[in-house]
Structure 1
């Protein structure tokens, strides 16, 4: 007897839009179809130039399992190869650490970094470790775990992890087995602009929630229309944008510029500066696009230390304009 198994959809406009206008980040997640229409929707979404939700592909399957995730990854690889994306090492994948994705991503997208969602890790930390220490302040230790994940330097990371293990020895094995190189900022080998959660995929699941109550054919068409309307609305909004940057990155740069006004700067060379912020000193190298605070390196956005008033000058200002246009791509 013929039986529906699975369906993969990636619209041409979504593929081209991702390759030409989005960051190389792919968020993967699954969500259930509602009511009597059983099954799951697996999604691959990303962020556009304004840090907003952008759909790359989705699939309707009978269940979220290892075989279906492998199948979706193979399909996703094929559509990317059609756009001449054959070197996958610059793509960063995000997931909730589903076993199917842990197996499929390294095999299908060789060399691609795989980032584990911090929110799911904190949930596991609460259930597997904090539950065994009922007298501990759960919110406090959850925040320490999150600080370790966001730490920009290895010393900061080690400090937070050490405090957790000293207070809860059972946490040591949990942390080792969780593969910190896949979730800690200071250890992560890929580029993810300091994004550490799989929220983008969760937002997509909520965005299509009304469609998940429909029969499969109607559901797929409803999602198609949603994507079409979103892309048209973004297109119309972009027509009135001024300047080289989208509004959100531009606001981030403006905020950093405002913070920089009271900093003291000493020049070492044309491109190298030492910035004093109270008791904190940072070395800024505009030639290498780096700051010793590592915020620039992690976020991909020049931090407040790189735009101090004392760095003004024709060469530095021109260099800054170059960063504004290209360092966010």
Structure 2
């Protein structure tokens, strides 16, 4: 998470153990799902190092880095380093001249799309295998919980803490369902008791058909005959 790395960079003269402790507490603040939980965690963080943390958080709005204040659809992701991931992906070709670099990136994307298209053709079921595994895990976690039904859509799940699940509005008082757009363990156990199809309440972009549609197109090869001639001398920068 970028915020975590920024805090680390601010602690030049802080010893390693204290630095790691502060970074872990910042992580706990970021992952807190409710405002009350966030406030409790942030108070603990500030008590550990009021000056360093206070100055760091002074102009940092929590809606940009914390689950509790974020109002979008995070879909389980807490990172925003797409540029760093892309640079790492093309590291072995980034030194090439621009025309060759673009062609190398085209080739990598072409190959990636093809592999993902072929792989998804083997999938069965309704949602992508990774999400299906998550669904199985949260189901196992929730099997022992007691569930009471209020109406056709609203359930009380006696976990720790006790929560309210509204499967009609796709919401849970733990707020994890709303944030990730994927049923939390409380929602899974509520669906189990309702007899309704949980897959109908899972966002479409987690479904196999949407994944296949995303990689349905193709990027075609560009034969050498259609490319401009390459001369090393054209890309050399000579001293003035």
Q: TM-score normalised to the size of structure 1?
A: 0.58
What's the CA shift for 1:133? 4.7
Aligned partner (choices 177, 184, 207) of residue 59 of structure 2: 177
- What does the per-residue CA deviation read over 1:129-184, in whole Å, with 9 as the maximum and x for residues that have no partner? x4455496211111000110111001111111111222322122321312221111
Aligned partner (choices 163, 170, 180) of residue 289 of structure 1: 170
Show the counterpart of 2:147: 265
What are the residue-to-residue correspondences of 1:220-231 with 2, within 5 Å? Answer: 220-231=102-113
Tell me if structure 1 keeps the 8 A contact 2:76–2:179: yes
Larger relative contact order (C-alpha < 8 A, sep ≥ 6)?
2
- What does the per-residue CA deviation read over 1:58-112, in whole Å, with 9 as the maximum and x for residues that have no partner? xxxxxxxxxxxxxxxxxxxxxxxxxxxxxxxxxxxxxxxxxxxxxxxxxxxxxxx
Partner SS, residue 68 of structure 2:
coil
The answer to whether the aligner puts 1:156 opposite 2:37 as a matched pair is yes
Show the counterpart of 1:322: 200
Partner SS, residue 283 of structure 1:
strand
Partner SS, residue 265 of structure 1:
strand
What's the CA shift for 1:124? 2.1
The answer to whether the aligner puts 1:253 opposite 2:135 as a matched pair is yes
C-alpha distance in 2 between matches for 1:196 and 1:184: 9
What's the CA shift for 1:322? 0.6
C-alpha distance in 2 between matches for 1:204 and 1:133: 32
C-alpha distance in 1 between matches for 2:67 and 2:59: 17
Aligned partner (choices 285, 298, 302) of residue 183 of structure 2: 302
Tell me if structure 1 keeps the 8 A contact 2:167–2:191: no
Q: TM-score normalised to the size of structure 2?
A: 0.78
The answer to whether the aligner puts 1:193 opposite 2:75 as a matched pair is yes
Uncovered stretches (5+) of structure 2, i.e. residues with no partner? 208-240
C-alpha distance in 2 between matches for 1:135 and 1:257: 39
Larger proportion of helix: 2
Q: 1:219 to 1:197 in 2, by over 3 A?
A: same
What are the residue-to-residue correspondences of 1:84-123 with 2, within 5 Å? Answer: 118=1, 120-123=2-5
Show the counterpart of 1:168: 49
C-alpha distance in 2 between matches for 1:154 and 1:309: 25
**How many residue pairs are counted as aligned between the two chains?**
206
More divergent stretch after superposition (149-158 vs 209-218)? 209-218
C-alpha distance in 1 between matches for 2:75 and 2:13: 34
Larger proportion of strand: 1
Uncovered stretches (5+) of structure 1, i.e. residues with no partner? 1-117
Partner SS, residue 259 of structure 1:
helix
C-alpha distance in 2 between matches for 1:260 and 1:175: 37
Tell me if structure 2 keeps the 8 A contact 1:260–1:309: no
Partner SS, residue 317 of structure 1:
coil
Larger radius of gyration: 2
CA RMSD of aligned residues (A): 2.2
